Amino acid sequence: MISRALLDSRGFMLDYIEKNPQDLIGIELEMESAIEIREIIQMKRPRTVSFVEEGSLRCDGVELISEVDREPLKLCDLPDYFKELERIIQATLHKRYLGERLLTCSERTSTHVHLNITDISIKTRKRLFLNLLTIESLLFEIYGQGREDNVFCKKLVLPLSKIEKERYRSLLTSSSERILLNPKLLKYTSISPVNLLTKGTIEIRLAHLILDTDLLIKYISLLLEVKALSVKEICLYEESWSIDKVVKMFSNSDQLIKVDAVTQLQEGSAIAQGFIEEVFDQEDIEKKYTKCTRQESIVKKFKANRGASPASASGETTIPIPVPAHEINWAEILNTVRPSTDEPIDEPIFDDVADIDRGEY
């Protein structure tokens, strides 16, 4: 049975649920040879667990999803979800034992977790993604062994291509959905931002199929803790945040003793810092350059319309001849200069084909 002590792992999960009962979470368990599970769900009709067909799976594969009345699961319903999931799995294992068949996993089966980002700011969204990126390798070692080379949960590799930089920048810094010619480009990454503007979630895809509810609780608790730290403006990838503290977040994992956690976190921190330089720092440089260019353009247009004279032979600038306001072509000035804004400019991106031809894809 699911005990309060297990849910209250290191005093975090139940406390977080009590403080954020309406927060949302999505849990997807992709499994194959799932005839019995399908029959049990149809017969028992659990309140928090349902299934859908999944085309990427074989042998009667299904995807168990967490939902209540076709709505996303709230954290206040999470304990009931774990209890119902455990009953379903135990009933399936018993039925398979009688039929002398074992519940198996494959390279296609996995556990996906959707963290809700609709209740946090864009800055916190970026921080959450970078914090997850910092612990990505450690998560693979503990919860995704054997999936590092899986094409459906690729690790982030630097340097990024031009298209990848644009996609990440657009998804992590924009507040409105953009027109992307290839929205699935980042879908099969281990920490996927593709659903940020459609479902309002960051999807963590790296874990193998977790049928042990105890282990699943520890995994979900860890991810929720990373979100809580991100909201508190804590950056796991900065030197000011001790690596020892991050290791303690994984202290309830039996696999931690088999992993060089410090090295994994140092590498993860370096990747996060490199991502910042390639995606976000470059964005700031471009914004400053664009803003400066706009200001220079405005000044040049304004001087031209006022009749400013070039410098004389003696090196002195002559006094410009005033031009009546009704003779200044303000429409031309305003139409040739884009308005300045502190937010990223949302525009359709149509350079994919050209980038592919240049080998950027």
What is the residue extent of each domain of the chain? 105-280
Contacts of residue 361, Cβ cutoff 8 Å, sequence gap at least 6: 161, 163, 352, 355
pTM of the model: 0.74
Distance in Å from the first CA to the final CA of the chain: 49
Q: Which residues of 160-176 are buried (b: 16+ CB within 10 A; e: fewer)?
A: beebbbbbbbbbbbbee
Would you state the torsion angle of the CA atoms of residues 37, 31, 183, 25, taken in this order, to the nearest 10 degrees? 60
Would you state the torsion angle of the CA atoms of residues 317, 319, 325, 331, taken in this order, to the nearest 10 degrees? -10
Q: For helices 261-275 and 122-134, what crossing angle results, to 10°?
A: 140
> Which residues does residue 192 pair with via DSSP β-bridges, in sequence order?
203
Region of 10 (left: φ > 0; alpha: ψ -120 to 50; beta: rest) is left
Under DSSP, is residue 82 helix (H, G, I), strand (E, B) or coil? helix
Q: Tens of pLDDT along the chain (361 residues)? A: 455 555 554 457 888 888 999 999 999 999 887 878 888 898 889 999 999 888 777 777 889 999 998 899 999 999 999 999 999 988 887 776 555 455 667 788 899 999 999 999 999 999 999 999 999 999 998 899 888 888 889 999 999 998 899 889 988 987 665 545 565 678 889 999 998 888 899 999 999 999 888 889 989 999 999 999 999 999 999 877 777 777 777 766 666 666 788 888 889 999 999 999 999 876 554 454 444 555 555 555 555 555 544 444 444 444 445 555 555 565 555 555 445 554 444 444 434 434 434 444 3
